């Protein structure tokens, strides 16, 4: 078994912080959106996250960073006309999805993050990265609040742990919004196929979306297949999925399970109960990977006339902190 260590090296030509220990290894790209681009079981040959295959793949990653690894979405998903009305003011985000006329996926997927520290103990290796937003930061012109967002990843015999913290460092109240567009390989095991995979997610009702992929504020009844997705698991690519759901934790946990029936092993993505919504996207039904995306808030939340608790739109007062932790592991 390998000893735990954390070190700086390259990943397909980009600076990376590598974490190693036991059967696991992981790589984080601080200059490329703080993306945790790789999480692997080196003994079994499992690659749990979708990674670029080569340097040409890195160019594709840079063009669409939200379909590889674990990208940070802040604010997450879509906002009608790029407008974000909140607390008596309206923020204006760039319209970057021409086909819908919406803002999509926020400001953190491709900007650099600062490496705060990395290191190891006898039981884990870890890295902490952060982005501090103030008047000098490029994000401030769209989201004029002073705050720090911090991520800590660690690997141990219990898999990969993710800890996220947002602290309001300004003088006014700020909305708190976050998601992860996590790209999970299906299959993740060599020798298996997508047909060997079954995915289960702790979903509740499906949100009705309009032609611009924005919630109408109404729920839709789950189909029989979606009930299977919730209860027992389904083949991930039986049809296109680009669906938004209320999260409904089961047995106290909010998670995705991806089971490889051939290997008799299950990857669990436990995201924590602060994430009140799921977006599930399977790349138009093409076999290879899917994105179970845990979100704090409903898509376009500020423009949906529903109670804040229901749509997951909450705020941080000056000096307040929000934090949550999640884990990727196998059983």
- Among residues 149, 132, 160, which one has the least CA distance to residue 72? 149
CA distance 148 to 295: 19
Tracing tokens 């300004």 back to the chain, one arrives at 170
Return phi, psi of residue 314, to 5°. -125, 175
Does the annotation mark 181 as catalytic? yes
CA dihedral 38, 42, 47, 51 (to 10 degrees): 40
Tracing tokens 């681009």 back to the chain, one arrives at 37
SS3 category, 196: helix
What stretch of H or E contains 56? helix 55-63
Tracing tokens 């650099």 back to the chain, one arrives at 112
The 10 Å CB-count burial string (b at 16+, else e) for 248-264 is eeeeeebbbbbbbeebe
The 10 Å CB-count burial string (b at 16+, else e) for 116-143 is eebebeeebbbbbbbbebeeeeebeebb
Return phi, psi of residue 33, to 5°. 80, 10
Query: Which listed residue (120, 145, 181, 277) is catalytic?
Result: 181
Does the annotation mark 293 as catalytic? yes
CA distance 36 to 160: 10
Whether residue 22 contacts residue 5, with contact meaning beta carbons closer than 8 Å, is answered with: no
Return phi, psi of residue 224, to 5°. -60, -40
Enzyme catalytic residues: 181, 293
């Amino acid at each position: 078994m390998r000893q735990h260590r954390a070190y700086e090296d390259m990943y397909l030509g980009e600076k990376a912080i590598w974490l190693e220990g036991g059967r696991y290894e992981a790589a984080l790209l601080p200059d490329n959106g703080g993306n945790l681009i790789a999480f692997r079981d080196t003994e079994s040959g499992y690659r749990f996250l979708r990674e670029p295959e080569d340097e040409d793949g890195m160019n594709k990653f840079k063009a669409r960073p939200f379909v590889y690894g674990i990208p940070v979405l802040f604010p997450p998903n879509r906002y009608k006309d790029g407008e974000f009305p909140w607390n008596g003011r309206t923020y204006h985000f760039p319209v970057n999805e021409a086909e819908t006329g919406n803002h999509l996926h926020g400001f953190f997927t491709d900007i650099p993050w600062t490496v705060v520290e990395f290191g190891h103990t006898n039981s884990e290796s870890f890295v902490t990265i952060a982005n501090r937003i103030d008047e000098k930061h490029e994000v401030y012109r769209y989201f004029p609040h002073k705050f720090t967002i911090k991520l800590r990843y660690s690997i141990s015999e219990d898999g990969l742990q993710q800890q996220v913290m947002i602290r309001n460092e300004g003088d006014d109240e700020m909305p708190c919004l976050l998601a992860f567009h996590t790209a999970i390989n299906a299959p993740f095991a060599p020798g298996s196929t997508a047909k060997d995979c079954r995915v289960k997610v702790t979903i509740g009702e499906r949100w009705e979306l309009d032609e611009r992929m924005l919630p109408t504020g109404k729920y839709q009844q789950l189909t029989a297949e979606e009930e299977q997705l919730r209860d027992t698991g389904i083949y991930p690519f039986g049809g296109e999925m680009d669906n938004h759901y209320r999260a409904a934790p089961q047995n106290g946990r909010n998670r995705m399970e991806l089971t490889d029936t051939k290997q008799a092993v299950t990857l669990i993505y436990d995201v924590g109960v602060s994430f009140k919504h799921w977006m599930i996207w399977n790349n138009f039904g093409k076999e290879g990977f899917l994105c179970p995306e845990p979100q704090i808030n409903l898509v376009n939340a500020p423009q949906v006339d529903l109670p804040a608790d229901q749509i997951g739109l909450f705020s941080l007062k000056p000096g307040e902190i929000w934090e949550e932790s999640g884990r990727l592991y196998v059983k």
